[in-house]
């Protein structure tokens, strides 16, 4: 993700007093998240999205991603509070002093991946991914996928359960579970990681420049169907998938001081 940056929200700081009535809340569907949201709304109100200065998302990382997709184009930062099982992109949940926390929060701006997936019926499907774009086999047989980078065939045939391209922000998610590398936010690198590769058995993936375009062509697609997923967009029976960073889209996440996303990504590399 080129030009991914982390900076003080205070550079354009909005005093806590000016955030009163300008915070919108979004929450996951769990009882815990709903209960927490009701308490916060009772204390701070709930602005309409078009009038909000900040959106507060309550849930897990999935709630953060869903909220970012929901507000695309509104240019509103999102501050997450963890009320779910996974909270890598979230801050600690506390009811008190929310406006003060928002006024001193650190902002991380990220650019998502854009997926263009061509399905067997001739339709082109467009999707954005904050974490990763993944290709996954649909049936019992392994997928066969050809990989091109910037127009050059780099892997004529990958036999696998799947393959993914991750953003730096998403490198600690599915990419890490698939044994891909964690990369810093400002690395300008995109991990390309196989999922249970069978041939070439020793291929562990690659680190690509942030500006690279990756094209996946599905081989033997009638016998070995493949689905493509970009966060919440899933396309079945794809024949070709094109992935690249979309720098025209900027998403902002807010974090408590000293607990920003860059620090979390670094710290994750030193956990057992």
* Pairing mode of beta strands 143-149, 152-160: antiparallel
> Is 100 among the annotated ligand-binding positions?
no
d(CA 24, CA 79) in angstroms, rounded, equals 10
First to last CA, the chain: 27
The span from the CA of 185 to the CA of 126, in Å, is 25
* 161 annotated as belonging to a binding site for a ligand: yes
> Is residue 52 annotated as involved in ligand binding?
no
* 175 is annotated as contributing to ligand binding: yes
Known catalytic membership, residue 231: no
176 is in an annotated binding site: yes
Annotated binding residue 62: yes
Residue 61 annotated in ligand binding:
yes
User: How many separate helices (H) and strands (E) can be counted in the chain?
Assistant: 5, 18
* 95 among annotated binding-site residues: no
Q: Hey, which residues does 195 pair with through a beta bridge?
A: 162
**Alpha-carbon distance 146 to 154, whole Å?**
8
Structure tokens at 255: 């974090």
- Phi-psi domain of 188 (left: phi exceeds 0; alpha: psi -120 through 50; beta: other): left
Structure token digits, residue 249 = 């889209």
Which of these is catalytic: 61, 96, 126, 258? Answer: 61
Would the annotation count 174 as a binding residue? Answer: yes
132 belongs to an annotated ligand binding site: yes
CB 89 within 8 A of CB 60: no
Q: From the annotation, which residues make up the binding site for NAD(+)?
A: 61-62, 131-132, 161, 169, 172-177
Among all residues, which ones are annotated catalytic? 61
Q: From the annotation, which residues make up the binding site?
A: 61-62, 131-132, 161, 169, 172-177
């Amino acid at each position: 993700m080129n030009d991914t940056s982390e900076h003080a929200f205070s550079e354009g700081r909005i005093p806590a007093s000016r955030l009163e009535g300008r915070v919108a809340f979004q929450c996951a569907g769990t009882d815990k998240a709903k209960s927490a949201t009701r308490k916060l709304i009772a204390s701070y109100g709930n602005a309409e999205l078009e009038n909000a200065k900040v959106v507060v998302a309550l849930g897990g990382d999935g709630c953060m991603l869903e909220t970012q997709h929901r507000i695309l184009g509104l240019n509103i930062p999102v501050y997450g509070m963890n009320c779910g099982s996974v909270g890598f992109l979230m801050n600690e949940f506390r009811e008190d002093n929310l406006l003060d926390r928002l006024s001193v929060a650190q902002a991380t701006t990220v650019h998502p991946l854009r997926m263009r997936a061509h399905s067997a019926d001739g339709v082109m499907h467009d999707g954005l991914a904050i974490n990763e774009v993944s290709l996954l086999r649909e049936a019992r047989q392994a997928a066969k996928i050809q990989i091109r980078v910037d127009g050059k065939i780099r892997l004529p045939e990958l036999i696998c359960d799947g393959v993914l391209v991750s953003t730096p922000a998403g490198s600690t998610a599915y990419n890490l579970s698939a044994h891909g590398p964690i990369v810093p936010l400002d690395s300008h690198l995109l991990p390309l990681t196989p999922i249970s590769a069978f041939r070439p058995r020793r291929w562990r993936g690659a680190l690509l420049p942030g500006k690279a375009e990756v094209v996946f062509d599905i081989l033997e697609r009638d016998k070995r169907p493949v689905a493509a997923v970009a966060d919440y967009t899933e396309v079945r029976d794809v024949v070709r998938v094109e992935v690249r960073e979309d720098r025209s889209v900027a998403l902002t996440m807010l974090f408590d001081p000293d607990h920003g996303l860059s620090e979390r990504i670094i710290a994750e590399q030193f956990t057992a």
